Chains A and B, each alone.
Chain A
Amino acid sequence: MVLAIASAFIIFCSAILISVSDRHPDATEGISSVPISIISPFQDAVTGSIAFITGIWRHYFDLVSTAKENDALKKMLSQAVEKKNQCIEIELSNQRLRKFLDFQKTRMIQTVSAEVIGKDPSPWSKTVIIDKGKSEGIRKGCPVVVPEGITGQVVSVSTYYSKVLLIIDRNSAVDALVQRSRARGIIRGMSSEDCTFHYVLRKNDIRVGDEVVSSGIDGVYPKGLRIGYVSGVIRRNSGMFQEVDVTPHVDFEKLEEVIVFITPAEYELEMP
């Protein structure tokens, strides 16, 4: 009898807890960062050991391919140097034009690079743990990117570690634009490798292969960051919206290092 009452009580409390955390995700942030602080140093050590062993394999036993790669990289580097010169020229002219137009853009983006030390233990959620936290200036809500595009945002922070919600998680949402037609919508995760582009009006012109970038309206991600490309469009005869599938540029399976934007998203990036 006591067990039955205790069970009912705990089930009731859990249901309340789930309901509260659904409505107010911040409510449990403080206590939930405790296990992250305890478990993450071990994750860090294990990931570091694996990376060390993989590094030995890659650097010492794979020298032949490294030499070939080195040649190719040298060639690419010379091309990059050439391109850099062009970019400097473009940047200088850009600055002149901005000044001319009295354009307001002075803030520099502050970033912190971090290493992924662990992935989500649950098969239904898509988060990663990174090895930088409050001590590096990371706060809840900071956008996380890689050179390929948007990765996610910080949802929980401890002193030295942070939890990042990936854009492919079903709880994630990013306000986005189709680069070509400027059609707006919201990118939502599906807990698989793809995302869906919600609330895109039927009248908007969207084609497979179109680039999707962040709109900057959500106040989290700066405008103009790459998200992915349109991989499928279904335009039904009825309804206000069309169904659009988006494949992210980021390969979330091979995520190793990320960049965290510390500066608030009040600025605007150059549109690619």
Chain B
Amino acid sequence: MIQYIVYSCICIFLIILKTAVLSNFALFNNFYDILLPVVLYLGLFRPLSQGLPLIFFYGFCMDSMTGGLFGFYILVYFLLFIAMRWTVQFLHARSFLLKPFIVLVGVLIENLILFLILVLFHRNRIVSGSFLHSAAIQLLWAAVTGPFLLIAIDYTQIRFSDWSEERVSREKKMDHQRDRIF
């Protein structure tokens, strides 16, 4: 349960970081979807039972906060989650081949899905050059920062798991001592 709360807080923290802090700097105008590395991480390293509800929650939050079509982020996150589960059947999740490119590929897939939706739902409007410009900058950001963000999430998760295990074993030890006293 505590894992769900932690990941939900991470989601809220990242949305606030993007909307209230990074948005003040013109440099981050075309920064990619900041929840994407967490979604990819959940797909790669966390169990299905934990990942699915969180993916849905992330998608729902993003769809509510943005001005785009409702359901877009739920669809994208779910597809990426499935893609990651499928990828780890062939490649080792902690492989050095995977980490540097995974966020880049995620951003590319997200942009392609948006492009397809724009073509399907807004056929009368041409996808402008600004879309391609934005996508290119997002890919650049993903290439530069993506691997580090994944490493940071992985490190935090490992530390958190260690802390949880330590706490559980300490509690068990205390229970055992209490049983011996009484």
Chain B interface size band reads: 35 or more
B26 an interface residue at 8 Å Cβ cutoff? Answer: yes
- Evaluate contact between A190 and B128: CB separation under 8 angstroms: yes
**Contact A125 to B67, CB < 8 A, known contacts A43-B19, A50-B20, A192-B130:** yes
**Contact A165 to B78, CB < 8 A, known contacts A50-B24, A124-B114, A191-B128:** no
Inside 8 A of B108's CB, which chain A residues have their CB? none
B16 an interface residue at 8 Å Cβ cutoff? Answer: yes
Which of A21, A33, A169, A171 has the most CB atoms of chain B within a 10 A radius of its CB?
Answer: A21
A32 and B60 CA atoms in complex are apart in Å by: 8
Inside 8 A of B78's CB, which chain A residues have their CB? 7, 10-11, 14
The dominant DSSP class at the B interface is: helix
Inside 8 A of B164's CB, which chain A residues have their CB? none
Which partner residue on chain B sits nearest A129 by CB separation? B19
Q: Which of B34-75 contact A (CB under 8 A)?
A: 34-35, 48, 60-75
**A130 CB → nearest B CB, Å:** 12
B21 an interface residue at 8 Å Cβ cutoff? Answer: yes
Inside 8 A of B30's CB, which chain A residues have their CB? 123
Q: Which of these, B12, B32, B34, B85, contacts A42 with CB under 8 Å?
A: B12
- How many inter-chain contacts with C-beta < 8 Å in the A-B complex? 138
Inside 8 A of B33's CB, which chain A residues have their CB? 121-123
**Contact A122 to B74, CB < 8 A, known contacts A39-B12, A43-B20, A192-B130:** no
Q: Which of these, A32, A39, A169, A191, contacts B16 with CB under 8 Å?
A: A39
- Beyond A17-B71, A22-B121, A121-B35, list 7 extra A-B contacts (CB 8 Å): A18-B70, A35-B65, A36-B64, A120-B67, A122-B65, A127-B67, A163-B67
Q: List 15 A-B contacts (CB under 8 A).
A: A11-B75, A11-B78, A15-B75, A17-B71, A18-B72, A18-B117, A32-B63, A36-B64, A39-B61, A50-B20, A50-B21, A118-B19, A119-B19, A119-B23, A121-B33
Q: Which residues of B contact A (CB under 8 A)?
A: 12, 15-16, 18-21, 23-24, 26, 29-35, 48, 60-75, 78-79, 82, 85, 114, 117, 121-122, 125, 128, 130-131, 133-134, 138
